[in-house]
């Protein structure tokens, strides 16, 4: 696709009216890298499918401003879809890869997902990053296999290939539908889970909620103490999440809950709620918290807060029945639907970019299975799709 630059406008503004046969009509416009962080945050509020991974703060902290690209699709001047991508170029030459995580965002608030918007957005992404920049493009869509949303996105990205699922790129989770009443949600819990919640409610625990630095620092202390005690391997960088939290617009900050037992923080939970969905991101519990069953009260408190704030879906944050059976059993007890994210979608017209991307992902898989140091992993993953 070779979109013609609109005369008199910046080269980063495309007009598909004349040369593109893939855009459906003359009413669509694409802007690339013309938006400010403040404008991007405002655009996020337009979408049901907004999420933490598409915030500028997440991209800035994880990858750096210089490695981000932002594409905005408009119809008759009105924003219809947006996407934030990470750009990886190992040299100054025109090859590398573009990584889109949990996007594009194309479901406007109060409206059903429009297949025409999704199609035009897929074509705009292909035009800019595959055809124009010659990159290997990898899209990790915010959709679960078998859902109506997945069907729309698969059709829109029909020129992309489905990347085969394996242990490294499969995201399996429980998703709760929060439409039922609070009482009905509680009735749906596994009886053992519900009994432990009742026990926690009798333990005189105190829940502190907030989105500020004090709450997040308190959570980080619980988390780090838990790691030191259990000595488990993890790819989670808790300090990085703290920096993301500090950088986010206040309305997009993660919700932090701390459970105190006799004034001592014993458990914590961090979740992100944007658009119509929330994601359980981080959890930590001390030995005292296990005894007092603080994690059950934290999740129940979070569910009620999400309901009160109009959130429809709660993603419990990933499950691994074999690798982490305890966490799997805990999350299963909340009676969500067991789902898998749609396969990553990939496209490339550059042999060099494809080779770089495949080599980078191979390095990432090797590092996940080794005991390499954190610093070495950080250095080598510059050629990989950092999740």
Starting at the earlier edge strand, list the strands of the sheet with 255-261: 206-210, 255-261, 264-274, 277-285, 313-315, 172-177, 337-340
- 213 and 327 both lie in a single domain: yes
**Do 112 and 199 lie in a common domain?**
no
Q: Does 214 share its domain with 326? A: yes
Helix/strand/coil (H, E, C) string of 255-267? Answer: EEEEEEECCEEEE
Per the domain annotation, does 196 fall within a domain?
A: yes
Residue 55 belongs to domain spanning: 13-165+342-383
The answer to whether residues 78 and 134 belong to one domain is yes
Is 6 among the domain residues? no
Residue 89 has pLDDT above 90, yes or no: no
CB atoms within 10 A of CB 328: 18
User: Is 23 a domain residue?
Assistant: yes
Cβ count near 289 (within 10 Å): 25
Residue with tokens 């690209």: 69
Q: Per the domain annotation, does 34 fall within a domain?
A: yes
Whether residue 1 lies inside any domain: the answer is no
Residue 268: the pLDDT is 96
- Segment 327-356, tens digit of pLDDT: 999 999 999 999 999 999 999 886 766 776
Examine the domain organization and report whether 368 and 288 are in the same domain.
no
Does the pLDDT at position 367 exceed 90? no
- Mean pLDDT, the chain, rounded, equals 86
The model's pTM is 0.85
What CATH number corresponds to the domain at position 188?
3.40.630.30
Contact 82, 43 (CB under 8 A): yes
Instruction: Please tell me the predicted confidence (pLDDT) of residue 227.
Output: 78
Q: Say whether pLDDT at 79 is over 50.
A: yes
235-254 pLDDT per residue, tens? 778 899 999 999 999 999 99
| Same domain, yes or no: 99 and 220 | no
Report which of residues 22 and 288 the model is more confident about: 288
Distance of CA 180 to CAs 184, 193, 307, Å?
Answer: 6, 18, 9
Q: Tell me the sheet residues that pair with 236.
A: none
Whether residue 4 is contained in a domain is answered as no
Full DSSP string of 320-367: -TTT-HHHHHHHHTT--EEEEBPPPEEE-S-HHHHHHHHHHHHHHHHH
Element (H or E) spanning 276, and its range? none
Listed in sequence order, the residues at least 6 apart from 112 whose beta carbon sits closer than 8 Å to its beta carbon are none
290 within some domain: yes
Say yes or no: 31 and 143 in one domain: yes
Residues 27-58: pLDDT tens digits? 899 999 999 999 999 999 999 999 999 999 99
Pair 299, 196 in one domain: yes
Q: Within this chain, do residues 43 and 92 fall inside the same structural domain, yes or no?
A: yes
Are both 149 and 18 inside the same structural domain?
yes
Q: Are residues 84 and 148 in the same domain?
A: yes
Same domain, yes or no: 328 and 206: yes
Tally of structural domains, the chain: 2
374 alpha carbon, distance to own chain's centre: 22
Q: Is residue 235 part of a domain?
A: yes
């Amino acid at each position: 696709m070779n979109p013609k630059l609109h005369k008199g406008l910046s080269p980063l503004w495309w007009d598909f009216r004349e040369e593109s046969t893939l855009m459906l009509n003359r009413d669509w416009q694409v802007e690339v890298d013309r938006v400010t962080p403040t404008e991007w945050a405002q655009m996020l509020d337009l979408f049901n499918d907004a999420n933490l991974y598409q915030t500028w703060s997440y991209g800035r902290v994880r990858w750096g401003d210089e490695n981000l690209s932002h594409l905005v699709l408009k119809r008759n001047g009105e924003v219809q879809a947006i996407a934030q991508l990470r750009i990886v170029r190992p040299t100054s030459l025109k090859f590398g890869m573009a990584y889109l995580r949990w996007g594009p965002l194309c479901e406007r608030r109060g409206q059903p997902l429009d297949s025409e918007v999704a199609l035009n957005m897929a074509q705009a992404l292909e035009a800019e990053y595959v055809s124009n920049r010659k990159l290997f493009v990898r899209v990790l869509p915010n959709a679960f296999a078998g859902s109506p949303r997945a069907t729309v996105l698969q059709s829109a990205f029909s020129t992309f290939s489905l990347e085969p699922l394996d242990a490294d790129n499969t995201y399996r989770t429980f998703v709760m539908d929060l439409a039922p009443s609070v009482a009905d949600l509680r009735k749906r819990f596994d009886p053992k889970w519900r009994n432990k919640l009742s026990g926690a409610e009798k333990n005189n625990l105190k829940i502190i909620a907030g989105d500020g630095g004090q709450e997040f620092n308190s959570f980080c202390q619980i988390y780090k103490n838990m790691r030191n005690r259990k000595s488990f391997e993890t790819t989670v960088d808790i300090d990085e999440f703290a920096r993301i939290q500090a950088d986010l617009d206040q309305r997009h900050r993660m919700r932090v809950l701390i459970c105190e037992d006799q004034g001592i923080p014993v458990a914590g939970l961090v979740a992100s709620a944007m658009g119509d969905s929330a994601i359980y991101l981080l959890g930590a519990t001390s030995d005292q918290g296990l005894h007092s069953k603080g994690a059950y009260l934290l999740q129940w408190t979070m569910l009620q807060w999400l309901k009160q704030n109009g959130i429809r879906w709660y993603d419990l944050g990933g499950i691994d029945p074999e690798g982490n059976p305890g966490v799997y059993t805990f999350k299963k007890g909340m009676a969500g639907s067991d789902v898998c994210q749609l396969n990553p979608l990939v496209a490339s017209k550059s042999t060099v970019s494809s080779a770089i991307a495949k080599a980078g992902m191979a390095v990432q898989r090797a590092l996940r299975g080794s005991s390499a140091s954190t610093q070495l992993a950080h250095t080598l993953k510059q050629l990989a799709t950092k999740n």
